[in-house]
C-alpha cells in the first residue's frame, strides 16, 4: 500500500461526455469530484472531426473542441481533472480503492465509471491515416456527410447490417464487404440488407487498403476465394466490426455481459456494488452517442449524490 493515500468523496474514472457531465453535476452538488482522464482524454470524440448532432451547437463543432468546452465547464465548478490511468481497483469494502498508473492509491466514497468503449479497427495504415477524413466507425454520427454519395462498409454482424441500412437511406450506393460466405447478423437484419436495392453485399471479400491521399477516394478489396482484387470508388469508408468497452479492470468486481459492457440496474446507473455507478459507452452497447452518454453521466452523478446522502457521507 502507498504511504500517502488520498481520500475523495467522488472519483470519476474517464473523461468523455459521460465523465465530464457527471463531473459538472457532482461539482455543483459540492461532492468535490476528482477525475482521472484515462488514456484518451475526451474519449472517442477526440478522434471525431465534426459533431453536428449534439444540441446547442447550431453550426456544429469539432470533437476535440467540444471536449475542451466540457472540461472547462467541469473545472469551472471545481472538478479536479488529472491526467492518469486507473490500472487496478478493489471494491471489497465500503470505501472503494483504486490505483492510478500502478502507483498512486486513491480511496473514494463513491465512484462513477465512464471509461467508454473503443471501436475495433482493421489495423490498416491507410485506415488510421484517413480516420476522420472519410474513415469512420459510426454511421449514425457521420452518415449525413455522405448524402447522395457512394460508401463502403465492412462488417457482418447486426451492427454492420443496421448501419448499412441506415446509410442506404442517405447514400446513393452502399457496398458491404463481408469476410465470410454469410452474415453473422440475425436473419431479420440480414434479410433487410439483402432486400435493400442500393446495398450491394460482397461476400468473401476483405479490405486490402483504403485509397486516397488526404481523403477517402476508394477501397481496394480482395476476394478471399479467388484472390482477385477490385477497386471500389467511394468517399466514405465505415468500419462496423464492433466496439470493445474499456472495462477490463472491473472484471471480477462488476457484472458485465459477454462483450464486457457493464450491467446496471435498469433505469439507473447503479452497479451491483453500492456506491459504484456506470455511465456512457462502458455500459451502453445500443445507442453509443455523445448525447446519451452525457445523459447517463448526469444520472450517475445524481445517483451518487443520493447514495452519499443516504449513507451519511455528504
Catalytic residues: 138, 141-142
In angstroms, the CA 33 to CA 23 distance is: 6
C-beta of residue 152 within 8 angstroms of C-beta of residue 234 = yes
CB 55 within 8 A of CB 29: no
Three cell numbers, residue 203: 461476400
Cβ atoms of 306 and 275 within 8 Å: the answer is no
Structural contact between residues 235 and 211, judged by C-beta atoms closer than 8 angstroms: no
The answer to whether 314 and 308 are in contact (CB under 8 A) is yes
Residue whose cell numbers read 452497447: 285
Other residues' Cβ atoms within 10 Å of the Cβ of residue 186: 12
3-state secondary structure of 220: strand
For 92-116, give the secondary structure using H, E and C: CCCCEEEEECCCEEEEEEEEEECCC
- Cα separation, 296 vs 314, in Å, equals 21
Amino acid at each position: 500500500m502507498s504511504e500517502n493515500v488520498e481520500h475523495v468523496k467522488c472519483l470519476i474514472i474517464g473523461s468523455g461526455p459521460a465523465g465530464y457531465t457527471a463531473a459538472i453535476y457532482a461539482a455543483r452538488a459540492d461532492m468535490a469530484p476528482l477525475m482521472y482522464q484515462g488514456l484518451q482524454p475526451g474519449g472517442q470524440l477526440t478522434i471525431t472531426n465534426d459533431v453536428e448532432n449534439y444540441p446547442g451547437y447550431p453550426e456544429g463543432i469539432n470533437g476535440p473542441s467540444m471536449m475542451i468546452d466540457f472540461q472547462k465547464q467541469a473545472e469551472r465548478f471545481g472538478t479536479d481533472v488529472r491526467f492518469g490511468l486507473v490500472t487496478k481497483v478493489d471494491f471489497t469494502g465500503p470505501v472503494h480503492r483504486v490505483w492510478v498508473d500502478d502507483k498512486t492509491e486513491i480511496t473514494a466514497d463513491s465512484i462513477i465509471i465512464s471509461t467508454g468503449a473503443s471501436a475495433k479497427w482493421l489495423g490498416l495504415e491507410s485506415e488510421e491515416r484517413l480516420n476522420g477524413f472519410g474513415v469512420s466507425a459510426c454511421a449514425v454520427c457521420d452518415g449525413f456527410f455522405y448524402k447522395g454519395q457512394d460508401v463502403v462498409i465492412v462488417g457482418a454482424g447486426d451492427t454492420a447490417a443496421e448501419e448499412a441500412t441506415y446509410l442506404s437511406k442517405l447514400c446513393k450506393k452502399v457496398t458491404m464487404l463481408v469476410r465470410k460466405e454469410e452474415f453473422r447478423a440475425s436473419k431479420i437484419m440480414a434479410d433487410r440488407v439483402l432486400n435493400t436495392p442500393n446495398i450491394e453485399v460482397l461476400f468473401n471479400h476483405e479490405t486490402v487498403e483504403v485509397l486516397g491521399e488526404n481523403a477517402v477516394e476508394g477501397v481496394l478489396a480482395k476476394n478471399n476465394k479467388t484472390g482477385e482484387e477490385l477497386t471500389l470508388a467511394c468517399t466514405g469508408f465505415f468500419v462496423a466490426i464492433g466496439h470493445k468497452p474499456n472495462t477490463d479492470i472491473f472484471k471480477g468486481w462488476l457484472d458485465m455481459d459477454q462483450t464486457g459492457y457493464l450491467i446496471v440496474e435498469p433505469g439507473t446507473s447503479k452497479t451491483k456494488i453500492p456506491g459504484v455507478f456506470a455511465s456512457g459507452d462502458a455500459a451502453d452497447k445500443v445507442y453509443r452517442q455523445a448525447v446519451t452518454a452525457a445523459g447517463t453521466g448526469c444520472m450517475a452523478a445524481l445517483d451518487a449524490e443520493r447514495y452519499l446522502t443516504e449513507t451519511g457521507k455528504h
